[in-house]
């Protein structure tokens, strides 16, 4: 069987960040183990034209197509499905998976008639069983983990069991990915020190209940982990094969399990790979960790820990069911910094009850924290599958469901699909831009200080990406000049988002 996997382009703009479509690479690895031939077309990161997609598919001659889509990609995925079916000239089954269909497989098949099969949740074994059934000419009835059309009905088969232990999975099929596109590190990501980077997914599922988050639709809330040894094996392989020096863990919450965290650190220290890493943590789990564990993580190579802090208003934190307090958030960031690790945070504005005063509270909190990376602001976007999807709808705060416009940040000229009870979409964009500007002013100052202290990183990053560096002085002058005009002559700040 020949399986062609596709990760569509981001409609409307160039990619935010080139990161590997690991889901497709995992599925391809599993299919290859079974003797199938696979191909991955990462249109998102390559920026390839649709014509190139069709050429690649024609050359490969697939028997099965698998497309991955987040919500804002689903329309593109559907349009391209039509093009692929037409170009290949025969009835090749197209399965779509990933976050959007994980929460709403039936609705997606109803809304998008060209998809034949939707595969919600974890896809490795659903895809394996689907390929086996198609190859053997068996009906889809027996394939667990898929939703498909039968005559005019949509049929949902029983789900696959969650994969456990996760160590049974092979490493992703890196050889099918344009790996070089994921390496380059921008000068703004200074702490990676110019090392080649790659992402790893080492745990699945987050036990928390944040109302804006869609992770549970894919993974459930059950926390599953790969062993420390298995993860370090993957790091070692990436180092040997691709000279990767820095890993960004894409897990929702890396350090839920203290023992696994320690096992991983000990293994990494013992093997002395000279690799660094960054990960996402939750403030409450970090709060529970002893300084010993934090220091061990630092010793193992942890450069930066990211936190979803979201807001500076306790009322808003409680509304979104974040499950942390502002004190915990602040304590965790300070502790991480005291242990010699950098700290970054993600922020969201636009929660249903938010007023401008709430957003300003967030800005103040943001300024107070000793963060090392100042991330820009997202606007709450109610992805289907999240609790806010239903809450906002019921409260009349959802403005439309044009999925293509369901981005939560980095999209110039795009209004959010929601409002709050007190702020309209334009006001949310104005506040977001004000926040982003503040973030960039901090970032430029922080980068300057970091590079003063680490001139060798400056040299390394500069040689890796000189063009990106050249934008630094221009951005700095622009931000300062606009701020000066705003303060001195009340000239409004430009509405366009900032960033490098
Ligand atoms: C890394 C990441 C990114 C990377 C993209 C990486 C990439 N190329 O895949 C970047 C930073 C670019 C990104 C951007 C965005 N992201 Co993002 N991202 C993630 C993150 C943290 C990890 C994804 C990952 O690597 N997973 C690991 C692999 C193994 O899993 P997977 O890709 O999901 O694949 C598995 C299953 O989904 C399924 N599957 C997937 N595809 C297919 C296809 C078939 C045929 C089958 C059978 C199965 C299947 O099987 C796979 C293996 O088990 C997730 C959070 C999470 N916990 O998943 C959010 C997440 C996917 N992102 C999300 C969002 C909202 C976005 C943005 C829209 C945000 C924005 N800026 O507006 C953009 C969209 C950009 C775009 N593509 O158009 C949401 C998606 C919600 C939704 N309903 O769409 C998530 C779930 C975050 C969350 N907690 O809510 N993201
Ligand atoms: S902690 Fe992160 S991954 Fe977990 S539910 Fe909240 S937002 Fe989602």
In CATH, what number is assigned to the domain containing residue 36? 3.40.50.2300
User: How far apart (Å, rounded) are the C-alpha atoms in residues 224 and 145?
Assistant: 19
Ligand 1 pocket, mutate which of 20, 41, 70 (most atoms under 8 A from CB): 70
Measured from the CB, is residue 201 less than 6 Å from ligand 1?
Answer: yes
Picking from 119, 138, 156, the residue at the C-terminal end of a domain is 156
146 and 200 within one domain: no
Q: Are residues 190 and 120 in the same domain?
A: no
Tell me the H-state helices in 34-98: 43-46, 50-60, 74-88
- Return the exposure string of 343-382: e unless at least 16 CB atoms fall within 10 Å of the residue's CB, then b: bbbebbbbbbebeeebbebbbebbeebebbbbbbbbbbbb
Q: Are residues 197 and 88 in the same domain?
A: no
Residues 392, 277 share a domain: yes
Could you say which of 120, 141, 156 is where a domain stops? 156
Residue 324, in any domain of the structure: yes
Assess if residue 478 is contained within a domain.
no
Q: Is the CB of 223 under 6 A from ligand 1?
A: no
Residue to mutate, 218, 279, 401, ligand 1, most ligand atoms under 8 Å from C-beta: 218
Q: How far is ligand 2, taken at its centre, from the CA of residue 149, in Å? A: 33
Statement to judge: residues 232 and 113 lie in one domain: no
User: Counting ligands in written order, which one lies closest to the CA of residue 378?
Assistant: 1
Nearest CA to ligand 1 atom 50: 123
With respect to residue 363, please indicate whether it lies within any of the assigned structural domains: yes
Per-10-residue mean pLDDT, the chain, length 500: 95 75 98 98 94 98 98 96 94 96 96 97 98 97 96 95 98 97 76 89 97 98 97 98 97 93 97 96 88 94 96 98 96 94 95 98 95 88 97 98 87 88 95 90 79 79 71 77 85 65
Biggest distance spanned by C-alpha atoms of the chain: 74
Measure CA 198 to chain center: 13
| Gap from CA of 218 to ligand 1 centroid (Å) | 9
Residue nearest to atom 1 of ligand 2 (CA): 208
CATH number of domain containing 205? 3.80.30.20
What domain range is 8 assigned to? 2-156
Residue 394 falls inside a structural domain: yes
The 8-class DSSP code of residue 172 comes to: P
* d(C-alpha 95, C-alpha 83), whole Å: 15
Please indicate, yes or no, whether residues 125 and 202 belong to a single structural domain of this protein.
no
| Residues 222, 97 share a domain | no
Q: Peptide bond before 102: cis, by omega within 30 degrees of 0?
A: no
Paired tokens of 249 = 């863990």
CA of 491 to the centre of ligand 2 (A): 39
Ligand closest in space to the Cα of 209 = 2
Going by alpha carbons, the residue nearest to atom 3 of ligand 2 is 252
Whether 490 is covered by a domain: the verdict is: no
CA quadruple 358, 363, 369, 372: dihedral positive or negative? positive
Are residues 290 and 430 located together in one domain of the fold?
yes
Q: Which atom of ligand 2 lies nearest, measured to the CA of 208?
A: 5
Closest-CA residue, ligand 2 atom 6, reads 210
How far away, in angstroms, is 355 Cα from ligand 2 center? 24
Q: Both 216 and 146 in a single domain? A: no
Instruction: Report which of 387, 382, 383, 407 is spatially closest to residue 397, judged by C-alpha positions.
Output: 382
Residue 481 pairs with which residues in a beta bridge?
Answer: none
Distances 5 to 43, 88, 101, 138, 201 between C-alpha atoms, Å: 11, 15, 16, 22, 19
**What pLDDT does residue 497 have?**
55
- Indicate which atom in ligand 2 lies nearest the CA of residue 280: 2
What is the SS3 assignment for 482? helix
Whether ligand 1 lies within 6 angstroms of the CB of 62 is answered as no
Nearest to 64 by CA among 115, 110, 121, 13: 115
Q: Do 70 and 211 have their domain in common? A: no
In whole angstroms, give the CA distance from residue 95 to residue 148. 9
> Nearest 5°: phi and psi at 303?
-95, -45
The span from the first CA to the last CA of the chain, in angstroms, equals 43
Contact 119, 100 (CB under 8 A): no
Contacts of 453 (CB under 8 A, 6+ apart): none
Q: Provide the number of structural domains found in the chain.
A: 2
Phi, psi of 11 (to 5 degrees): -60, 130
279 neighbors 254 (Cβ within 8 angstroms): yes
Which residues make Cβ contacts (< 8 Å) with residue 287, sequence separation at least 6? 328, 331, 332, 335
For ligand 1, the distance from its centroid to the CA atom of residue 256, given in whole angstroms, is: 20
CB 351, CB 322: distance < 8 Å: no
Would you list the DSSP string of 384-422?
A: BTBHHHHHHHHTT-B----GGG---SS-TT---SB--SS
In a domain, 171, yes or no: no
Residue 477 maps to a domain: no
CA distances from 1 to 7, 137, 142, 383 (A): 20, 12, 18, 34
Q: Cα of 23 to ligand 1 centre, how many Å?
A: 8
Q: How far is CA 149 from CA 14, 62, 95, 210, in A?
A: 34, 21, 11, 33
pLDDT score of 194? 82
Same domain as 213, residue 132: no
- Distances in Å between the Cα of 346 and the Cα atoms of 198, 310, 496 are 21, 6, 20
Do 360 and 279 lie in a common domain?
A: yes
321: which residues sit within 8 A by CB, 6+ positions away? 209, 210, 211, 387
Distance of alpha carbon 19 from alpha carbon 220, whole angstroms: 23
3-state secondary structure 354-391: CCHHHHHHHHHHHHHCCCCEEEEEEECCCCECEHHHHH
Closest listed residue to residue 69, CA positions, set 311, 409, 383, 334: 383
Q: Which atom of ligand 2 is nearest to the CA of 207?
A: 4
């Amino acid at each position: 069987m020949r399986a062609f996997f596709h990760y569509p382009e981001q409609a409307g703009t160039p990619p935010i960040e080139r990161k590997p479509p690991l889901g497709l690479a995992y599925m391809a690895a599993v299919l290859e183990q079974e003797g199938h031939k696979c191909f991955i077309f990462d249109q998102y990161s390559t920026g390839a034209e649709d014509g190139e997609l069709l050429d690649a598919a024609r050359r490969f001659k697939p028997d099965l197509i698998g497309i991955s889509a987040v919500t804002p990609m689903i329309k593109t995925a559907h349009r391209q499905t039509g093009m692929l079916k037409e170009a290949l000239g025969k009835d090749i089954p197209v399965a779509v998976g990933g976050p959007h269909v994980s929460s709403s497989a039936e609705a997606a098949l109803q809304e998008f008639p060209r998809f034949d099969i939707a595969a919600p949740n974890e896809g490795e074994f659903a895809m394996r069983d689907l390929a086996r059934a198609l190859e053997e000419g068996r009906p889809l009835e027996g394939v667990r983990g898929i939703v498909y059309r039968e005559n005019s009905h949509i049929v949902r088969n029983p789900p696959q069991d969650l994969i456990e232990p996760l160590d049974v999975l092979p490493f992703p099929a890196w050889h099918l990915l344009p790996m070089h596109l994921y390496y380059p590190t921008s000068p703004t990501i200074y702490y990676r020190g110019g090392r080649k980077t790659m992402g790893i997914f080492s745990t699945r599922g987050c036990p928390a209940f944040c109302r804006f988050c869609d992770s549970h639709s894919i993974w459930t809330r059950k926390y599953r982990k790969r062993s420390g040894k298995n993860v370090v094996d993957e790091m070692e392989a990436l180092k040997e094969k691709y000279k990767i020096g820095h890993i960004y863990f894409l897990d929702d919450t890396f350090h839920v399990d203290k023992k696994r965290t320690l096992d991983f650190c000990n293994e990494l220290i013992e093997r002395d790979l000279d690799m660094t890493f960054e990960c996402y943590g939750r403030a409450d789990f970090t709060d529970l960790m002893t300084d010993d564990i934090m220091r061990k993580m630092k010793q193992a190579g942890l450069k930066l820990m990211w936190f979803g802090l979201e807001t500076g208003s306790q009322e808003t934190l409680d509304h979104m069911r974040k499950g942390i307090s502002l004190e915990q958030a602040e304590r965790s960031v300070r502790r991480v910094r005291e242990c010699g690790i950098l700290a970054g945070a993600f922020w969201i504005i636009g929660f249903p009850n938010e007023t401008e005063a709430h957003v300003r509270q967030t800005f103040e909190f943001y300024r107070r924290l000793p963060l090392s990376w100042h991330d820009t602001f997202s606007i709450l976007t109610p992805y289907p599958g999240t609790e806010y999807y239903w809450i906002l709808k019921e409260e009349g705060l959802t403005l439309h469901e044009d999925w293509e416009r369901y981005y939560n940040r980095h999209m110039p000229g795009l209004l959010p699909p929601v409002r709050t009870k007190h702020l309209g979409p334009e006001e949310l964009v104005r506040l977001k831009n004000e926040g982003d500007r503040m973030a960039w002013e901090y970032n430029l100052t922080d980068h300057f200080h970091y590079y003063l202290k680490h001139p060798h990183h400056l040299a390394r990053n500069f040689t890796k990406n000189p063009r990106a560096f050249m934008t630094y002085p221009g951005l700095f002058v622009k931000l300062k000049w606009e701020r000066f005009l705003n303060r001195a002559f009340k000239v409004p700040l430009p509405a366009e988002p900032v960033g490098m």
